Structure 1
């Protein structure tokens, strides 16, 4: 719930944010309230409560209330509270490991809560049938894009990761219906990623955006949007470190979905790639 609220908050009005913050901070208390009671508690209206419920992914307030009751029961069962602590300059390496591991787990959990399974499946289905897949990303997102392209190549798909913005656009011009373009940008407003995706979209390719901002400009040109978690940035942990974790989960889910759809060809292709590289994993024989 907290992950959804953090991700969707920028798209909400201030009154909707008050409702969202209330249900995220006190799920047990809000689960006991009627729609009128929650509206009074947050100084909003019943219509605002219903709109907020729908924006968070529930058909109506009744469904949100049931989800809150389930979350409250889980928390009361003894689940450990989530505590996020920033890394300090004088932290020991053991503390750094513990804090980073905690944040990585939280990022993965938040992204899992944000990802829409139907959007993922539709994107994977399109990629499985694609004549070609182009992936766009810059900076840390380019590393995630390269990871996805390499995985797709190993199961027999034609896939390219473009980090040069000029080459990305000139390649996007060559895409056609039946091809797929994937843009990876946490902010949702990286121009060097948006431009090739827009070009691919205009040429009829199926387009996918992996982003932490479902309201970002990149989504205007995306047929499918895979939302990753909001970033918790600190002085010693830049945004790119946190966003990369969520992006990797999203593209791993995408890859597995493609592999499932193409299993009959993907499995032999993976075996062939393992065999082709097997000799490189054998330790060299020591001379006598």
Structure 2
């Protein structure tokens, strides 16, 4: 696992001091070999123990282990310490397209690291076991929520999409314990969704949150959380990275559901039906 990908993916859940250390390392990976833990602490105005704890929290034995890992990555991949993304010979290439593609690739890789296969398998199992699936999202989150609900329906799962959380409580109040609620919220700070999650769980249902990899209210009320890491200095680019990384994540869940042959056959039958209608 690339150490800088690991740091960037975990940045959203770090404390203020940890983010300062992370940002320094991300910006100065090629210079890190010249810094001892004490020198790094002095440069940031923090304690040496904070640097050591940061390294251990990432899974390294200590700062020397972290520095060595980053040094190896620098030697292999150049000053970025991250693997170069190949995209042809570059002849006639649009720099804007290449930059966006690389940014999306990084976001998808970071998101994959945050969601191990066991978590995706667990979600696929929850979806297949649920008697009824409520899918809720607001604003741009509603677009992704609706598309995923449609995919679930095509596989024969009873999925109901709601764009307005105010319309859900009436159905939720009569829901049985076999229900599942999927809440899409990039920032995870929509009070109405947190209330809905509490209500649903009080009725014996299970809740899955889909948010950024940050500490947020929605994650606190979820039985399982899907986490997305997508960062960019340009505010208009960051949503594009979030949507791309989230789509990849949902596609992986969908593929796990398609492992059930009966559901896959149902999807194939639907596509044949649509094709026949279009050919008429």
Give the TM-score of the pair, scaled to structure 2.
Answer: 0.78
Residue 280 of structure 1 pairs with residue 277 of structure 2: yes
Decide whether the 8 Å contact of 1:176 with 1:203 is kept in 2.
yes
Aligned partners of 1:272, 1:69: CA distance in 2, in Å?
53
Runs of 4+ in 1 over 6 A off after TM superposition: none
Count of residues paired in the alignment: 266
What is the CA-CA distance between 1:212 and the residue it aligns to?
Answer: 0.9
Residue 23 of structure 1 pairs with residue 25 of structure 2: yes
Structure 1: runs of 5 or more not aligned:
83-93
What is the CA-CA distance between 1:178 and the residue it aligns to?
Answer: 3.2
Aligned partners of 1:254, 1:112: CA distance in 2, in Å?
12
Aligned residue for 1:166? 166
Residue 52 of structure 1 pairs with residue 49 of structure 2: no
Decide whether the 8 Å contact of 2:85 with 2:102 is kept in 1.
no
Structure 2: runs of 5 or more not aligned:
87-93
Could you say if the C-alpha distance between residues 232 and 184 of structure 1 is closer, same or farther in structure 2, counting changes exceeding 3 Å? same
SS in 2 for 1:170: helix
Aligned partners of 1:253, 1:108: CA distance in 2, in Å?
12
Give the TM-score of the pair, scaled to structure 1.
Answer: 0.76
Could you say if the C-alpha distance between residues 67 and 243 of structure 1 is closer, same or farther in structure 2, counting changes exceeding 3 Å? same
Map 1:10-159 to 2 at 5 A: 10-27=12-29, 30=32, 37-43=36-42, 44-45=46-47, 47-53=49-55, 55-56=57-58, 58=59, 60-61=61-62, 64=66, 67-69=69-71, 71-76=73-78, 79-80=83-84, 97-159=97-159
Map 1:188-203 to 2 at 5 A: 188-203=188-203
Could you say if the C-alpha distance between residues 116 and 216 of structure 1 is closer, same or farther in structure 2, counting changes exceeding 3 Å? farther
Aligned partners of 1:3, 1:67: CA distance in 2, in Å?
12
Aligned partners of 1:205, 1:55: CA distance in 2, in Å?
34
Of 240, 262, 268, the residue aligned with 1:265 is 262
Decide whether the 8 Å contact of 2:8 with 2:22 is kept in 1.
no
Cα deviation, 1:242-264, whole Å, max 9, x if unaligned, reads 4222222222222222333xx13
Decide whether the 8 Å contact of 2:73 with 2:82 is kept in 1.
no
What is the CA-CA distance between 1:149 and the residue it aligns to?
Answer: 0.8
Aligned residue for 1:182? 182
SS in 2 for 1:42: helix
SS in 2 for 1:198: helix
Aligned residue for 1:88? none
Aligned partners of 2:139, 2:97: CA distance in 1, in Å?
24
